[in-house]
């Protein structure tokens, strides 16, 4: 029996929206747009954590000394 993949509404929308543009340039542009979007979201969230006191220099130093590969 073969496994089937079910796409959610967002995935279907994205497939339809980008099906017409098959160029490498279009893919590169999309990558940059998504990268900038998620980088901004992460930056904003880190600022929120810093402003609320959840994140501070001591915690950043602790994270910096961790082997993050072990968390995966």
> Do 15 and 7 meet the contact criterion of CB atoms below 8 Å apart?
yes
- Record the tokens describing residue 1, joined without a space: 């029996």
Using alpha carbons, select from 26, 25, 2 the residue that is nearest to residue 14: 26
Q: What is the pTM of this model?
A: 0.62
How far is Cα 27 from Cα 45, in angstroms, rounded to an integer?
A: 27
pLDDT in tens, 50-72: 999 999 999 999 999 999 888 87
pLDDT in tens, 4-56: 889 999 999 988 887 877 788 888 888 999 999 999 999 999 999 999 999 99
């Amino acid at each position: 029996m073969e496994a089937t993949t079910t796409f959610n509404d967002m995935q279907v929308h994205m497939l339809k929206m980008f099906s017409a543009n098959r160029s490498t340039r279009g893919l590169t542009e999309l990558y940059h747009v998504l990268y900038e979007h998620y980088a901004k979201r992460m930056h904003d969230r880190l600022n929120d954590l810093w402003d609320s006191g959840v994140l501070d220099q001591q915690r950043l130093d602790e994270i910096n000394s961790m082997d993050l590969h072990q968390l995966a």
